[in-house]
Structure 1
Amino acid sequence: MPSSTTWSSQPFRTLYTVGFWSINIPHLLYLSLRNSIAPIRTVPQWGYQLSMGVAILRALFRYLAVIRYQQPRQMVPGKAQDRFVLIAPPDATLFRGVLGAPAAATKPEPVGAVWYPAVPIPAPPPPGNNGATAGDPPPPPPRRRVIIYAAGGAFVTGWDPDENAQNIAALATDHFDDAARVLCMQYRLASRAHPFPAAVQDLFTAYQYVLGLGVAPRDVVLMGDSAGANLVLAVLRYLAVEGLRQPGGAVVFSPWVEVTAEAVQKYSRSVASRYDMLDVPLLEWGVDAYRPQGRTLTQEEEGYISPLHHPFPLKETRLYVDAGSLDGVYESISVFAKQMMDVAGNRVRFHTTENMPHDYFLTYPLLGTKEEACAALRDARDFLSA
């Protein structure tokens, strides 16, 4: 397939766009009529909004995969204003092993991120001693969880970070922690210039930044969906392997745990590939862009990129894994969760949300799956707080 640069510099992108949507808009209209009749819906268990939301996303993902469009990262405040932060990488000595090996194709770079509803920095005490005696330490700030969120998109597509932060915070404050702050970080989208471990470096940078604000590791929750969930698992593995401070919890929705060309081919032959939002061209693009090219990967690297069959000890972190029962990659997620549970000392919960497709969490506003997303968050909260 041509690169995004090629498409943008030639008239073929416009021609393809016209042709693609001239075919797919009538198809979506047909699906709209079909899905309005419950007995003949594509997936009988789904309502109209869920059916059409998945169909729209599926078409959009195929279009983006063919033209290879990647949303530019936000590196300036924009509409987020003072909620935007540009995070410098931490000390270079923290990047070691697979994140700092000489063979790594990428080096750490600044990371753009958006807070919601505000940066969790305690306000300075008011003037005067307020009844305190000289030398008394100031009272500790109230505890509140910080959620660092990495959105999905097969490693190659981007989302509006401000909108994501608002959507996730809207759920988290009502159903996870009413004092939570959400940091929606923007990792480098995968390309030949930024394959693994670029995105893992970026999430690790965001985590170190939050710790640098004085937030205790036990109050940090790493959260992600699909490819973003894969990055969460990679950072957890890195922290455990390198003996670094680990977060109190991690919540992953629909994690992409088998990032290989063989797995994509297997999915292409499955029944789910005909109804779920995971479109084969998007997955092929993600695998090709994220996996480093031109050399044989080590088993250690494979564990970070494709964690299925590569379980690891969590030590200090509780891990909550959720997947929809109609997720096209449900089987691989359930196997991975079982493998993680079997590691001595790990505290892992696997939760199945019935009749949900892939990544119903991030896309809940379009799919109408807020109730299911909230229920999963409440279950995750109870598990992480036990």
Structure 2
Amino acid sequence: MSSSTTIWSSQPFRTLYTVGFWSVNIPHLLYLALRNSIAPIRAVPQWGYQTSMGAAILRALFRYLAVIRYQQPRQMVPGKAQDRFVLIAPPDATLFRGVLGAPATATQPEPVGAVWSPAPVPVAVAAALPGNNDDKITTGNPPPPPRHRLCRGGGFVTGWDPDENSKNISALATDHFDGTAHVLYAQYRLASRAHPFPAAVQDLLAAYHHVLGLGVPPRDVVLMGDSAGANLVLAVLRYLAAQGLRQPGGAVLFSPWVEVTAEAVQRYSRSVASRHDILDVPLLEWGVDAYRPQGKPLTQEEEGYISPLHHPFRLETRLYVNAGSLDGVYESISLFARQMADVAGNRVRFHTTENMPHDYFLTYPLLGTKEEACAALRNARDFLRG
């Protein structure tokens, strides 16, 4: 019996809700399928049929998952990924200091499951790469085209198939970013009352530390994330800069969630975008409630890690930020990018992809936005190359 079947059979409410939810939403989706076949009356005239229906399906799915509070279990064994899977042991506790370590947090580092695509980085090859003894990126000198991607997408509270998504990202990166790319899709702990901030940040930091431990020089690493995953990339970058640790050669953010507050969710709920974008209000509310630590006031430093808008910071890494013009949180993303660019010494590029919704990059197979995702990757590649 699968884990999901066990959960539902032990919680009758979920079964009843599932039947009721889809008995209402399947007819609604069929109605939208008919309506969206007529271009002039689509909710978003700029979208094609596949994007319109993909967004509607994702929005319904996110609402369903948020109400039943279903979280996909992390993959902690090889499974179908076989030798491409790696279980990363927690690094030495001294790596986690300040807001990421005791006594600031009760959250302890745990093993991290990750999947390589198209194949793992050969340790011997990584160790032989030029510059593998560099401790820092020389400020002012553009790094060479980075070769290795450390990725994680999805929300703070929802998971994706790591094998499928790592393959999708790797395929795009190979053709449109850097032909020698190896993608490590790291699975952070999904947010809950047991695993609020900084659990997910600890996991992504452990994955980055693992890649460096293979002999890959920091300047050959790109941290890449989308939505909440992009938020976590920013948190790791902030931590590396604050602690004087080796920073990666680049960072690529798609649709970063930069304002993780209840007030921001309320504003989104009143926006026009909340009626057509893939983001759904219950999902955002769940993410805020689960990721933000409960029962204590947060310091300004912690706020900067959790909700980076209005908390810019200095970093050596080149930072590429992308958002669709029809993203429901586009304004907060563009404002954050400007704030980062205004910090002396930062190298930031903000790129708008016209007429795209939130997170069109990771969800391109469903939304039919592969062409736009590839163009954004090429733009990021050119920026990182300097």
TM-score normalised by length of structure 1: 0.93
Match of 1:152 in 2: 154
Aligned counterparts of 1:47 and 1:175: Cα–Cα separation in 2: 23
Deviations 1:2-24 (A, max 9, x none): xx998662212111100000000
What is the Cα deviation at residue 103 of structure 1?
3.1
- The question of 1:336 aligning with 2:336 is answered yes
Query: Kindly tell me: are residues 80 and 277 of structure 1, through their superposed partners in 2, closer, same or farther at Cα, counting changes over 3 Å?
Result: same
Amino acid at match of 1:257: V
Mean alpha-carbon deviation: is it higher for 235-244 or for 115-124?
115-124
Q: Provide the aligned length of Structure 1 versus Structure 2.
A: 369
The amino acid across from 1:149 in the alignment is: C
What does 1:232-271 align with in structure 2 at a 5 Å threshold?
A: 232-271=233-272
Report the Cα distance in structure 2 between the residues aligned to 1:267 and 1:86, rounded to whole angstroms: 37
In structure 2, do the counterparts of structure 1 residues 104 and 58 end up closer, same or farther at CA, with 3 Å as the change threshold?
same
Secondary structure, counterpart of 1:54 in structure 2: helix
User: 1:300 is matched with which residue?
Assistant: 301
Tell me, in whole angstroms, the C-alpha distance in 2 between the residues paired with 1:363 and 1:99.
30
1:37 and 2:51 are equivalent in the alignment? no
Q: Which residue of 2 aligns with 1:131?
A: none
Name the SS for the 1:288 alignment partner.
Answer: helix
| Residues 322 and 8 (structure 1), Cα distance of their counterparts in 2 relative to 1, 3 Å cut | farther
Tell me how far apart the structure 1 counterparts of residues 131 and 118 of structure 2 sit (CA, whole Å).
17
Q: Secondary structure at the match of 2:94?
A: helix
Residue pairs, 1:115-264, within 5 angstroms: 115-123=116-124, 145-153=147-155, 155-264=156-265
Question: For residue 66 of structure 1, what is the aligned residue in structure 2?
Answer: 67
- Give 5+ residue unaligned stretches, structure 2: 133-144
Instruction: For residue 141 of structure 1, report the CA deviation from its aligned partner.
Output: 10
- Bigger drift between 327-336 and 90-99 goes to 90-99
Say whether residues 1:23 and 2:16 are aligned partners.
no
Evaluate the alpha carbon distance shift between residue 123 and residue 247 of structure 1 in structure 2; reply closer, same or farther with a 3 A threshold.
Answer: closer
Counterpart of 1:264 in structure 2: which amino acid?
V
Tell me how far 1:62 sits from its aligned partner. 0.2
Moved more, 7-16 or 169-178: 7-16
Report the Cα offset of residue 105 of structure 1: 3.0
Gaps of 5+ in 1: 125-136
Say whether residues 1:361 and 2:331 are aligned partners: no
Give 1:26 shift.
0.3
Contact kept in structure 2, 1:325 and 1:352, CA below 8 Å? yes
Q: In structure 2, the residue corresponding to 1:193 is in which secondary structure? A: coil
AA of the residue aligned to 1:374: C
The alpha-carbon deviation at position 42 of structure 1 amounts to 1.1
Percent same amino acid among aligned pairs? 85
What is the CA–CA distance in structure 2 between the aligned matches of 1:234 and 1:140, rounded to whole Å?
28
CA distance in 2, matches of 1:38, 1:5: 43
Aligned to 2:142: none
Distance 1:236 1:140 in 2: 23
Secondary structure in structure 2 of the residue aligned to 1:266: helix
Residue 268 of structure 1 and its aligned partner are, at CA, apart by 0.3
Structure 2 Cα separation of the partners of residues 192 and 269 of structure 1 = 27
Query: What does the per-residue CA deviation read over 1:53-95, in whole Å, with 9 as the maximum and x for residues that have no partner?
Result: 0000000000000000000000000000000000011111110
Residue matched to 2:49:
48
User: What's the CA shift string for 1:267-300, capped at 9, x where partnerless?
Assistant: 0001101110110000000000000000000000
Q: Output the aligned Cα RMSD.
A: 1.8
Question: What letter matches 1:65 in structure 2?
Answer: A
CA distance in 1, matches of 2:9, 2:325: 39
Report if aligned partners of 1:105, 1:292 keep a CA contact under 8 Å in 2. no
Distance 1:234 1:144, change over 3 A: closer
Q: Do the aligned residues in 1 keep the contact of 2:36 with 2:42 (CA within 8 Å)? A: yes
Give how far 1:187 is off. Answer: 0.1
Q: CA deviation at 1:198?
A: 0.1
Query: Would the aligned equivalents of 2:196 and 2:293 in 1 still touch at CA under 8 Å?
Result: yes
* Structure 2 counterpart of 1:35, one-letter code: N
Q: Which residue number in structure 2 is paired with residue 128 of structure 1?
A: none
Runs of 4+ residues deviating >2 angstroms: 4-10, 137-144
**What's the CA shift string for 1:299-328, capped at 9, x where partnerless?**
0000000000000001x2000000000000
Residues of 2 paired with 1:152 and 1:171: CA distance?
A: 17
Change (3 A) 1:284 1:241: same
Distance 1:139 1:370, change over 3 A: closer
Partners of 1:187 and 1:203 within 8 A in 2? yes
Amino acid at match of 1:24: N
Separation (CA, whole Å) in 2 of partners of 1:81 and 1:64: 28
Letter in 2 for 1:290: Y
Deviation per CA, 1:156-194: give whole Å up to 9, x if none: 000010001000001000000000000000000000000
1:76/1:86 contact within 8 Å kept: yes
Partners of 1:217 and 1:246 within 8 A in 2: yes
Amino acid at match of 2:154: G
Residue number in structure 2 paired with 1:287: 288
Q: Which protein shows a greater Rg?
A: 1
